[in-house]
Amino acid sequence: MIDEPYRWVEAIANRREYIEHQLAPGSPIVALSYADGIVLLTLSRERQKIFEIYDRIAMGGIGHPGDIERLRLAAIELCSTEGFARSAHDVSLRRLANFSLSPALKAAFEQVYGAPYLARLIFAELGRGDVPNLFLRLDYDGSIHTNGGSFGRSFEEFGVIAGTKSAAERMERLLREHDATKASLSRAVRIAAEAWSLGHMASPDDAAEELPKRAVLKKHLDEQLAHAAVECAVLERSSTLPITWRALPEAETRAMLDAE
């Protein structure tokens, strides 16, 4: 079947449709810069979705837990081996994604007789010194989107993933309107939660449609918070140790969400 080029394209298109369908109900994950580093936030019912990868790199994933786990372990191994053989300064998210993860994802996606990775990942890397924070989205087909440096787009201080393209675009629109780079952790958490709420609400097909009012977003968030766990972690610039990761206890995050 797939020895004909047209059939191969068709098979890939089917596969893409299947994966998108599987990913669609995934709970969005928000990562954004605040005054003292990066905050990552999501709501989840069953399992942890935000993870520490290395001293200054964190990851969030939606998709099949088995595939996320494989990619997470591979990322930790690659970073740890590099950090051990050379130095923690040589570990870079750009290289991890470009040279190691992306080709593996692409190969698995395009070999139509094998299983693809059912996963969409968001990575965040805390910059050293004056280097800006890097947010990088890695998709099941190996494609990479970053928060800046590319043609026709200004640099952004956030990155999101969501089940659907339109949900992610609407979240990005909201985050563009709220600059959190100088915000306290508490305020950044509230902005992240608002963006999550927007991404989680059933979104119209047309991403350009008017965004809902804040009260609507808050109401939806409160409804979800009633029966889901809120997961939040930070990469802190002010950390006295090389390790910048800190997972926030749920009570601390909820207190911040109620602080308004």
Partner 1 sequence: MTERGLPPPQGAQDFAAVLRREGVLPNAPVVGANAAVEQTQATTILAFKYSDGVLVAGDRRATAANTIVYDRADKVLEIDRHSLMAIAGVPATAWEMARVLEHSFQFYRRTQLQEMSHEGKVRALSKLLRDNLGMVLQGVGVVVPIFASYDAAAEVARLYFYDAMGAQFEAADFAATGSGSPAVRAVLHFANSWGAKPLRKLKANDAIMLALRALETAASSDSATGGVDRRADVFPIVKTITSAGIETLSEARLARLFKGKLV
List residues binding partner 1 (CB under 8 A). Answer: 48, 51-54, 70-71, 73-74, 76-78, 80-81, 83-85, 103-105, 107-108, 114-115, 117, 241, 243
Q: Which is nearer to partner 1, 59 or 175 (CB)?
A: 59
Q: How far is the CB of 210 from partner 1 (least distance, A)?
A: 41
According to DSSP, residue 155 is labeled: -
* CB-nearer residue toward partner 1: 117 or 158: 117
Cβ atoms of 1 and 7 closer than 8 Å: yes
- Looking at the Cβ atoms of 217 and 233, the one nearer to partner 1 is 233
| Residue (of 79, 71, 83) closest to 95 by Cα position | 79
SS3 label, residue 9: helix
Which one, 63 or 199, has the nearer CB to partner 1? 63
- Closest separation between CB of residue 20 and partner 1, Å? 20
Report which of 135, 150, 129, 73 is spatially closest to residue 104, judged by C-alpha positions. 73
CA 53, CA 56: separation in Å to the nearest integer?
A: 8
User: What's the closest the beta carbon of residue 92 comes to partner 1, in angstroms?
Assistant: 17
What's the min distance (Å) between Cβ of 114 and partner 1?
A: 7
The minimum distance between CB 187 and partner 1, in angstroms, equals 28
- Strands 57-63 and 119-125, by their bridges, are antiparallel
Calpha distance 132→126 (Å, rounded): 8
In single-letter form, the type of residue at position 215 comes to A
Cβ proximity to partner 1, 154 vs 240, nearer residue = 240
